[in-house]
Amino acid sequence: MIHTFSFVFIIVIEFLFVSSQQFLISERTTLLNLRQQWRNPPSLTNWNASSSPCDWPEIICNGNGSVTLLNLESKGLTGALPPFICDLQNLEILILADNYLTGEFPRVLYNCSELIQLDISQNDFVGPLPDDIDRLSQLEYVDLGANNFTGDIPPAIGNLSALMSLHLYQNLFDGLIPSEIGNLSSLLTLGLAYNKFATPEIPPEFGKLRNLTKLWMPQTNLIGKIPESFANLSNLELLDLSSNNLEGEIPSGLFLLKNLSNLYLYKNNLSGEIPSVIESVNLSEIDISMNKLTGSIPEDFGKLLQLEVLNLFSNQLSGSIPTTISRIPALKIFRVFRNNLGGELPSEIGLHSKLEAFEVSENKLTGKLPENLCGGGTDRIKIQK
Ligand SMILES: *[C@@H]1O[C@H](CO)[C@@H](O)[C@H](O)[C@H]1NC(C)=O
Ligand SMILES: *[C@@H]1O[C@H](CO)[C@@H](O)[C@H](O)[C@H]1NC(C)=O
Ligand SMILES: *[C@@H]1O[C@H](CO)[C@@H](O)[C@H](O)[C@H]1NC(C)=O
Ligand SMILES: *[C@@H]1O[C@H](CO)[C@@H](O)[C@H](O)[C@H]1NC(C)=O
Ligand SMILES: *[C@@H]1O[C@H](CO)[C@@H](O)[C@H](O)[C@H]1NC(C)=O
Ligand SMILES: *[C@@H]1O[C@H](CO)[C@@H](O)[C@H](O)[C@H]1NC(C)=O
Ligand SMILES: *[C@@H]1O[C@H](CO)[C@@H](O)[C@H](O)[C@H]1NC(C)=O
Ligand SMILES: *[C@@H]1O[C@H](CO)[C@@H](O)[C@H](O)[C@H]1NC(C)=O
Ligand SMILES: *[C@@H]1O[C@H](CO)[C@@H](O)[C@H](O)[C@H]1NC(C)=O
Ligand SMILES: *[C@@H]1O[C@H](CO)[C@@H](O)[C@H](O)[C@H]1NC(C)=O
Ligand SMILES: *[C@@H]1O[C@H](CO)[C@@H](O)[C@H](O)[C@H]1NC(C)=O
C-alpha cells in the first residue's frame, strides 16, 4: 500500500519535472533565438544555454516554468520584433520600452493569446495602427507612446473592453480620435498628449468613462468646447487639456467633481466666467491661465484647503481678489498678473500660508502692500501697478 502510494507520487513528480523541462528547453531556445535576431546585444550576455530562463533577471515564469513576463526595457535592442516571440505561449507581460525597434505596429503579437500588458513606448515604430488591433483582445494595459505612429486611432480600439490604461502620447497621429474610446468602460488612464489630431472636437462619448482617473491631452490640436458630459467623470483626478484651441465656457460640472485634484486648461481660447460654485474640495493645482476668461475670481476658491497652485494670469478677469483666498493654508503659487483686477490686495495674504510666488502685476490694484507678504518667505513678488 505504502509502496504503491510512493510509486504514484514519484510518477507525479516526474511528470511535473518533465513538463517544466519541456518549457525550459523550448522556451530557452526561443529566447536565445530572439537574442540572436537582435544581434546579441551586450545587455543580454547573461542569457546562455546552461541556465534556466526563469533565473534570468528579465524574466518571470509561472509555476510550470513557462515565461509569463519579459522585460527588455532599455536593452539597446534594434531591428524588428520577430514573429516567433509568441512561441512563448504563456507570455502575459511584454515590456520593450526605450529601445530602437523599427517597423510597423507588430501584428505578430496577435499570436500571443495571453498578452495583457504591452509596452513598446520610446522606440522607432512608424505607420498607422492596424484596423484590427482589437485582436489583442485580452489587453489591459498598453503603452505605444513616443513612437512615430501616424494616421487615425482605429475605432476598433474601442473593442478592447478589458483596457484599463491606454497611452498613445507623443506620436505623429494626424487623424481621428474615435468616439469608440468612450466604450472602454474599464479605462482608468487615457494619455493622448502631444499629437496633431485632425478631429474637430473632443468626443462627448468620453463622458461615459466613469472610472477614468486621468485624462492627459495637452497639445493635441483640440478645438470646440469641453464637453458638458465631463460632469459625469466622477472619478477624475487629473484633467489636462492645456495648449489647445478650445473655446466656449468651462462647464460648471467640472468644478463639482469631488476627486479632481489637478486641473490644467491653460493656453486655450476659453471665455465666459469661471463657474462660481466650486465643490471639488480636493483641488491642489488649478491652471486656467492664458485664456479669455471674464468676470471675477470666485469666492469659492477660498474653500479649497488643499490648493497649492492658482494660476489665472493673462485673462480678462475683473473685480477684486476675494479675501477668502488669503486664508487658504496650502497656497504656494498665486499668479494673476495681466488681468483687469482692481481694489486692494487682501490684507491677510501671506499670513496663513508660505507663498513661493505672488505675481499680480499688470492689473489695476490699489492700496498698500499686505504686511505679511514677505514675512512668510515669499521668494518671488512681482507687483507693478
Ligand atoms: C550562464 O549564465 C549564468 C547566469 O545567468 C551564469 O551564472 C553562468 O556562469 C553562465 N554560464 C556560462 C557557461 O556562461
Ligand atoms: C501548468 O500547466 C497546467 C496544464 O497545462 C495548467 O492547468 C496550469 O494552470 C499551469 N499552472 C500554472 C501556474 O500556469
Ligand atoms: C500566427 O502564427 C501562425 C502559425 O505560426 C502564422 O501562420 C500566422 O501568420 C501568425 N499570425 C500573425 C499575425 O503573425
Ligand atoms: C520620427 O519622427 C521624427 C520627427 O518627425 C523624425 O525626426 C525621426 O527621424 C522619425 N523617426 C523614424 C524612425 O521614423
Ligand atoms: C468591434 O467588434 C465587433 C464584434 O467583433 C465587430 O463587429 C466590430 O466591427 C468591431 N468594431 C470595429 C470598429 O472594428
Ligand atoms: C461604441 O461606440 C460607438 C460610437 O461611440 C457606438 O456606435 C457603438 O455602438 C459602440 N459599440 C459598442 C460595442 O458598444
Ligand atoms: C469601475 O470601478 C469600480 C470600482 O473599482 C469597479 O467595481 C467596476 O467594475 C469598474 N467598472 C468597469 C466597467 O470596469
Ligand atoms: C450623465 O450621464 C447620464 C446617465 O448616462 C446622462 O443621462 C446625462 O445626460 C449625462 N450628463 C451629461 C452632462 O452629459
Ligand atoms: C474618489 O476617491 C476616493 C478615494 O480615493 C474613492 O474611494 C472614490 O471611489 C472616488 N470616487 C468618487 C466618485 O468619489
Ligand atoms: C483627496 O486627496 C487625498 C490625498 O491628497 C486623498 O487621500 C483623498 O482620498 C482625496 N479625497 C477624495 C474625495 O478624493
Ligand atoms: C479665439 O476666439 C476668437 C473668437 O472668440 C477668435 O476670433 C480667435 O481666432 C480664436 N483664437 C484662437 C487662437 O483660436
For the stretch 250-261, pLDDT in tens is: 999 999 999 999
Q: In this structure, are residues 82 and 105 in contact, taking their beta carbons and an 8 Å threshold?
A: no
Report how far ligand 7's centroid is from the alpha carbon of 122 (Å): 30
Strand partners, 67: 61
pLDDT exceeds cutoff 90 at 154: yes
Mutate which of 234, 282, 283, 285 for ligand 10 pocket (most atoms within 8 A of beta carbon): 282
Separation of alpha carbons 63 and 34, rounded Å: 23
User: pLDDT class for 336, splitting at 50, 70, 90?
Assistant: very high
Pocket of ligand 2 (CB under 6 A): 62-64
Q: Where are the domains of the chain?
A: 223-385
Candidate from 165, 189, 211, 212 with most ligand 7 atoms within 8 A of CB, to mutate: 211
Q: If you average pLDDT over every residue of the chain, what do you get?
A: 92
Residue from 119, 107, 221, 244 nearest 172 by CA: 221
Q: Which residue has the higher pLDDT, 384 or 39?
A: 39
Q: Name the DSSP letter for residue 152.
A: P
Q: What is the tens place of the pLDDT at every residue in 162-213?
A: 999 999 999 999 999 999 999 999 999 999 999 999 977 999 999 999 999 9
> Ligand 3 mean position to 81 CA, how many Å?
13
Tell me the pLDDT band of 19, cut-offs 50, 70 and 90.
low
Confidence at residue 12, expressed as pLDDT on a 0 to 100 scale: 45
Contacts of 9 (CB under 8 A, 6+ apart): none
Which neighbouring-strand residues pair with 103? Answer: 125
* 269-317 tens-digit pLDDT: 999 999 999 999 999 999 999 999 999 999 999 999 999 999 999 999 9
Q: What is each CA distance from 354 to 44, 286, 375, 384, in whole angstroms?
A: 51, 18, 9, 21
Q: 49, exposed or middle or buried, with CB in 10 Å at 0-12, 13-18, 19+?
A: exposed
pLDDT of residue 369: 86
Distance from the CA of 170 to the center of ligand 4, in angstroms?
A: 11
What's the pTM? 0.90
CA distance 131 to 166: 16
Closest ligand 9 atom number to CA of residue 258? 14
SS3 per-residue string spanning 179-199: HHHHHCCCCCEEECCCCCCCC
Residue type, 368: K
The tens digit of pLDDT for each residue in 339-357 reads 999 999 998 988 899 899 9
Q: Whose CA is nearest to atom 1 of ligand 5?
A: 159
Q: Which atom of ligand 7 is the closest one to the Cα of 164?
A: 14
Mean pLDDT of 205-227: 97
Q: Whose CA is nearest to atom 11 of ligand 9?
A: 235
- Residues in contact with ligand 9 by the CB-under-6-Å rule are 234-235, 258-259
Which of 203, 128, 211, 121 lies closest to 163, judged by CA? 211
pLDDT tens, position by position, 72-125: 999 999 999 999 999 999 999 999 999 999 999 999 999 999 999 999 999 999
| CATH fold group of domain 223-385 | 3.80.10
Q: Residue 337: which of 366, 367, 358, 322 has the closest Cα?
A: 358
From the CA of 86, the nearest ligand is: 3
Distance between CA 87 and CA 70 in Å, rounded?
13
Cα of 223 vs centre of ligand 10, distance in Å, is: 32
User: Does residue 1 register a pLDDT over 50?
Assistant: no
CA diameter of the chain: 101
Q: Residue 2's pLDDT is what?
A: 44
Spatial distance between the Cα atoms of 245 and 224, rounded to a whole number of angstroms: 7
Give me ligand 8 centre to Cα 365, in Å. 42
Ligand nearest to the CA of 101: 4
Q: What is the pLDDT of residue 9?
A: 47
Q: Are 68 and 89 in contact (CB under 8 A)?
A: no
Ligand 2 mean position to 62 CA, how many Å? 8
What does DSSP assign to residue 35? H
Mean pLDDT computed over 365-369: 89
Average pLDDT over residues 58-78: 95
CA distance 10 to 126: 53
| Integer Cα distance of 375 and 350 in angstroms | 7
Query: Residue 383: its pLDDT value, please?
Result: 59
Total number of residues shown for the chain? 385
Ligand 1 site, residue 45, Cβ cutoff 6 A: no
Mean pLDDT value across residues 3-23:
50
CB 323 within 8 A of CB 345: no
Rounded to whole angstroms, what are the CA distances from 55 to 72, 76, 152?
A: 15, 21, 41
Cell (9 digits) for 312:
489665472
Backbone angles phi, psi at 3, to 5 degrees: -60, -50
Q: How high is the pLDDT of residue 288?
A: 98
Nearest residue (by CA) to ligand 7, atom 10, is 186
Please write the tens of the pLDDT for every residue from 26-59: 899 999 999 999 999 999 999 999 999 999 999 9
Cα–Cα distance between 104 and 32 in angstroms, integer?
24
pLDDT of residue 351: 87
DSSP per residue, 298-366: -GGGGG-TT--EEE--SS---SPPPGGGGG-TT--EEE--SS--EEEPPTTTTTSS--SEEE--SSEEE
pLDDT at 370: 86
With cell 488649478, the residue in question is: 286
State yes or no: pLDDT of 385 exceeds 50.
Answer: no
Evaluate if residue 61 carries a pLDDT over 70.
Answer: yes
Q: Is the pLDDT confidence value at 5 over 50?
A: no
User: Which atom of ligand 11 has the smallest separation from the CA of 269?
Assistant: 1
Ligand 4 atom with the smallest distance to the CA of 125 is 13
Query: What's the rounded mean pLDDT across residues 230-245?
Result: 98
Q: Is the CB of 51 within 6 Å of ligand 1?
A: yes
**Is beta strand 245-248 parallel, antiparallel or unpaired with respect to 269-273?**
parallel
Element (H, E) at 95: strand 93-95
